[in-house]
Amino acid sequence: MYEIEEYVKKGYCSKADFEKALQAHQSYIASIRSDQREAAAAEMPGFGYYEPLQLSATDDELFKQPPPNADCPLCSIPLPLFSENALARRYQSCCGQIICGGCMWPVEYPLYGSGAPVPCPSCNTLNSEDEKEIVKGLMKRADEKDVYAMTLLGTRFAEGSVVPKSMHRAIEIWEEAAGLGGILACNTLGNIYKPGSLNDIDDTGIDKDWKEACRYYAKAAKGNHDLARYNLGVLENNHGSKIKAMKHMLIGAASGHDDALTLVKQGLTDHRVTKEEYDNALRAYKESKKLMDNAQRDKPKAWMERMNMMKVLSGGRRGPGTAGELLKEGCKIEQARKKRGNRRR
């Protein structure tokens, strides 16, 4: 019914039609409601009939356009979106800086696979590509309450990389980082709490909860985590709040998220978005893309797409991995390709 109220405001239907629809809706719900069905709906969120997710307490703040991404400290261009590939932004535990892939690529790529330490473009510290040294650097930064380092360290505990595998410890670290304002940790916790994902079979020991997932997604979205904003919109849509969902997609599109813009186009066709709203979102989308555009950043993106395609063609597993793992694996693939080319000559 929330959507019909919005349609009245936008002039898509009259107030009299809305009142008739409301009366019919209330009569229908009263006719099908029973204690047994209420219990079943509570046990199975996302199925049957259910009330929309209630985030109204934060709606005013949540539906404001978030601040733009911070600038890369080297090229002074806004950092890529969080939804970009693993090479788009790189965290440097030596100085705590987040550097865009375009600035890391000229320094990092030529040295990967050689075993030589990689100099940080920001502070010139030589960083080993050994995972033990990387984790040691993350632990040092985490002790200083660096939320980005804490989030990455939590991922190491979740994967059992160098440190003992422990989802309980990972969640503790992520929750502490989220409490300190870490939007990356908030998005991670949203993924953990969301029911119906692969996380249902892990050893987290936490109760899956739609509202808890949305609470963390909302915190991340307010900090301009574009993927959290998109996920929040999808969850709102699946729980019956289609107008709220479209509001999230409009904000996500304005931030430069491709999939959000696609859904906004669909909303224009479905009359959930006005032509003016769509035009404004498209204009903001193009502006965001222009601000983040950098020819140097296209190189790691194109390289990663080529490596993924080569994996698919060779029957290899295609997965996100860490940026370091992707570069190492990609270098091996390219070296093997060059050897085959030399033998043919």
Give the pLDDT band (50/70/90) at residue 96. very high
Average pLDDT value for the chain: 80
Q: Is the pLDDT of residue 255 over 90?
A: yes
pLDDT tens column, 5-58: 555 666 656 777 767 777 776 776 667 666 655 554 444 444 333 445 555 445
Q: Give long-range contacts, CB 8 A cutoff, 24+ apart: 71-74.
A: 72/98, 72/99, 72/100, 72/102, 72/103, 73/97, 73/98, 73/99, 73/122, 74/99, 74/100, 74/103, 74/121, 74/122
Confidence at residue 190, expressed as pLDDT on a 0 to 100 scale: 92
Q: Could you count the other beta carbons within 10 Å of the beta carbon of residue 90? A: 22
Residue showing tokens 């809706």: 25
Q: Is the pLDDT of residue 110 over 50?
A: yes
Rounded distance, CA 275 to CA 282, Å?
Answer: 10
Q: What angle do CA 260, 266, 270 make, to 5 degrees?
A: 135
pLDDT tens column, 285-342: 999 999 999 899 998 888 877 776 666 555 554 444 566 666 666 666 666 656 655 5
Confidence at residue 278, expressed as pLDDT on a 0 to 100 scale: 94
Mean pLDDT for the stretch of residues 127-152 = 93
Whole-angstrom Cα Rg for the chain: 23
Give the pLDDT band (50/70/90) at residue 102. very high
Confidence at residue 286, expressed as pLDDT on a 0 to 100 scale: 95
pTM of the model: 0.74
Contacts with 80 (C-beta within 8 Å, 6 or more apart), sequence order: 69, 88, 89, 100, 101, 292, 297
